[in-house]
Chains A and B, each alone.
Chain A
């Protein structure tokens, strides 16, 4: 089987570097800040090309966000990037007061989110970042599914004034999209039409959702698959319409189910068109060291977990 499938794997970090180089060429207001992780997440490529517009602040995330706020106040568009283990956790106050409150054009691109970062262990596996960012007014929250989506959505963030939290994952994942997909902030993408259950996913879980859709199809269950890359503002029209169409929703995310995508979907659906929702995600527990796929299996973040959730909701032909 594997031999027949042509799966293109690619890394979100490469896409981040690509996107920043393009934005840097297009707009001299674009500046990039790093905190001693820029070689790892490849923003150093921007530093090489535009040394006057790259600032490495050392291991000082709070200062980095504060400096970004100042740059934005003086007319720049700062892209701030490091590991999600440190941003937003070490600088929530600076993000809240210096960036979000004055609604500044600061784009936070946080890499290595979730448990998929792997062997670094729980200290480096962020599971609460999305919930924290979602709860701050003005902040937009975006979790791309793959490298092409990462590049496209970072490009879109440049067009949309105001603060962003864009969360990337470390592993290379199969490409869901071909190059330059037409993705818009705040508009979920229906990847596959279906009638029995809707699977609404974000980030690396979109791949798992597509795989789950195929497994369900083999059992005669038709799943609608939605890439909900923007968690805030949530595309409530699409979410309510898939609720009406399928009558049951499984959400899938690589973070704590408290406050993440599942919560966001429930906030909308419960008031507009209540249907049962089953949430696949980290169940309020810290991670641990291990390889990407091992961790995804142990913490219930695979296509099998999505299939199980769909069936539990009574999805049947």
Chain B
């Protein structure tokens, strides 16, 4: 792939990201908006576009879109309206999509995230609401079917300014949107199930040039990997064209992830005329100040704010990034920190190294079924910091906490696994080891300091691993001194 940093060209990328809103019902009708039912189970006269059926706006979808807009710092229009966008396709039951055109809900704003530790801000053009289409299913025999379960699921389309400069940045921007919508609880942001989808507008220009080059629109790039691969491929394709003195043609290209190439889908001349006009079946939507104030007050702490706060309490950039990457990870961290406020770094380490490794989906971290809830982790960290458990012992205890769903305190109390801090017991053990190892004692006293490990190891064996290593060291030094 072309190394963009070395190239004389600069890539200019804008993304159109579709987020399915996780409302109970569809945006304009009463059917369930849930994913995964049998074909056409979640349908009704409205979402099937049956004659005479009329859309009724789901207020919960507007609430979600308002939350997203506020989280991105957008201007929320006090009055927005829907428009019909026309084209023919079997998965589009009404022959038009109900979208927003000249009066979208949100304008301006930005998505902020970190790329290689550096803060990046991608400006938004707009965020608008619309209904999703159904899904065509092509049978191997050449017969096509349509499943309208998805038809009418609420979508937010997030349109960015052409502020993105690399494939990596595009992928990270998309990841930031996924994190954000999950923080807001408005979407599961699942790319595999299509609840987060993306088209990219890509052009290149000579570095220093301010005019935009001719863009190509890439479709079917519905995974982080596809976004990165497709954009890199497109930058390389355009670079070759310009280097040869040819021109980039404005067109829509379809990414083929299996072959790793894109192919022209339609040219500018074949582009649809969507014949937008205001949706006459829906009155304009008014979002008043009181509504905005309520929505603003209900916003959670957002990823970037959390990230900054975590750096402030001494976490590394890497750890902070992991903790904010998913709202539930940060929430887990917060809950544990509340129970053991003195040890943010230790909690972060345990959470990142032990807890996260044991869950399939970090979004389940705050579920009741998680074997080691945040307070239990805090208790364990406390025991280590108090010297009751060594790091090694604590790892074993954690393992048992996870598999047996028990608290650290229980395990320690019931099975006396805690470190022996009673100096008399340790002293007895140390004496026994020193007495039966005259050779090693002589060599140690002769200057072989490495043998300290041998003595410590033997004392630990004597105490079944429960002796506090610090105390063992002190006593041995006294005995051997």
> Do A and B associate with each other?
no
Which residues of A are at the interface with B, using a C-beta cutoff of 8 A? Answer: none
Which residues of B are at the interface with A, using a C-beta cutoff of 8 A? Answer: none
